[in-house]
């Protein structure tokens, strides 16, 4: 599969499974003026959350390319979904370069919703805040799927280029090593339960 075909497959699967609805970005654009002023406050909360934990601290400045507020604002400015998703793919490439792990992207999705609701409920009322939160869940799921799948694709393609392996050989090696890795994981789990 060419890289272009793989990109199209990622976008297609992400769009299909995210639950995105036709009017979602239109609904976000309609409230852009009201919510975009919260971008810096939400950025501070996300950065504080990352900086609070020793393991995530190194990513406080590299998550979303260090442009957290700008990224939040972009969610409310989407006119072309495909262009927006291509931007998310570029962010994933930056995450690969900076070593930002996918678990950070995935773990922060519900926190974005939580922090958004903290601002939205007093400003927009309970019903409108909940309606927008449901839309944001779909949009953030879409962006997370695209980022994680792109991250995986970039790592896999890098390994293939650097080693000269074929996709078939890489899959065979993964399968051969999987049993050993699972045993190591089980051993580590047993050790942690004994402590």
- Token pair for 112: 């974005």
- Number of neighbours of residue 67 by Cβ within 10 angstroms: 14
pLDDT band at 127 (very low <50, low <70, confident <90, very high): very high
- Token pair for 12: 């297609």
Q: Collapsing DSSP states into helix, strand and coil, what is residue 143?
A: helix
What residues does each domain of the chain span? 3-164, 166-195
pLDDT in tens, 49-94: 999 999 999 999 999 999 999 999 999 999 999 999 999 999 999 9
CATH-assigned architecture of domain 3-164 = Orthogonal Bundle (1.10)
pLDDT in tens, 153-180: 888 888 888 888 887 877 777 777 777 7
């Amino acid at each position: 599969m060419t890289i272009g075909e793989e990109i199209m497959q990622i976008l297609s699967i992400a769009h299909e499974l995210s639950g995105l609805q036709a009017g979602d970005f239109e609904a976000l654009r309609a409230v852009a003026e009201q919510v975009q002023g919260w971008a810096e406050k939400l950025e501070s909360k996300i950065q504080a959350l990352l900086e609070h934990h020793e393991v995530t601290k190194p990513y406080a400045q590299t998550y979303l390319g260090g442009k957290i507020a700008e990224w939040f604002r972009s969610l409310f400015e989407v006119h072309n979904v495909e262009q927006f998703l291509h931007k998310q793919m570029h962010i994933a490439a930056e995450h690969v370069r900076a070593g930002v792990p996918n678990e950070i992207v995935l773990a922060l999705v519900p926190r974005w919703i939580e922090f958004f609701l903290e601002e939205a409920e007093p400003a927009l009322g309970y019903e409108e805040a909940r309606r927008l939160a449901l839309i944001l869940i779909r949009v953030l799921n879409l962006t997370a799927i695209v980022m994680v799948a792109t991250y995986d694709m970039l790592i896999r393609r890098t390994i293939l280029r650097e080693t000269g392996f074929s996709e078939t050989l890489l899959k065979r090696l993964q399968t051969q090593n999987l049993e050993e890795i699972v045993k190591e994981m089980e051993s580590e789990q047993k050790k942690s339960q004994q402590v």
